Amino acid sequence: MAYVRFDLAVTLPYSLLNFLAMRKKDIITLVLLISATLFTAALSVNSDDLKYLVFVILIASGIKFSLIAFQFMELKKAHTFWKTALICFLVIFFGVVSIIVFY
């Protein structure tokens, strides 16, 4: 007979241990992402000026996108081409959205 081991009860503690085992830089990045999300949510509820709001949300989402790409997707270790491509994509995307909103 084969030996079967069931690890169904270890799911939650394993996830918690993964979070606790994160590097300090990853935790700081995660806190920055959560705070930027809460900032944009609070700003969108309390703001009346649409153009100002779109600009601030675009900046915050660009920062969040860059943090995720460079920290969690480890793009900082990638070739320079991919770093440049990501930044060019952000600039083009924000340029197009800004043109649509402001004109």
- Please report the pLDDT score of residue 81 as a whole number: 95
- Tokens 């995307």 belong to 93
Q: What is the pLDDT of residues 10-26, one digit of tens each?
A: 455 566 666 666 778 88
Q: What does the alpha-carbon distance between residue 71 and residue 67 come to, in Å, rounded to a whole number?
A: 6
Specify whether the CB–CB gap between 26 and 74 falls below 8 A. Answer: no
- Please report the pLDDT score of residue 16 as a whole number: 64
Q: Is 21 helix (H, G, I), strand (E, B) or coil?
A: coil
* 34: Cα within 13 Å, side-chain hemisphere: 6
Specify whether the CB–CB gap between 56 and 43 falls below 8 A. Answer: yes
Q: What is the pLDDT of residues 43-80, one digit of tens each?
A: 888 877 777 888 888 899 999 999 999 988 888 899 99
- Please report the pLDDT score of residue 48 as a whole number: 78
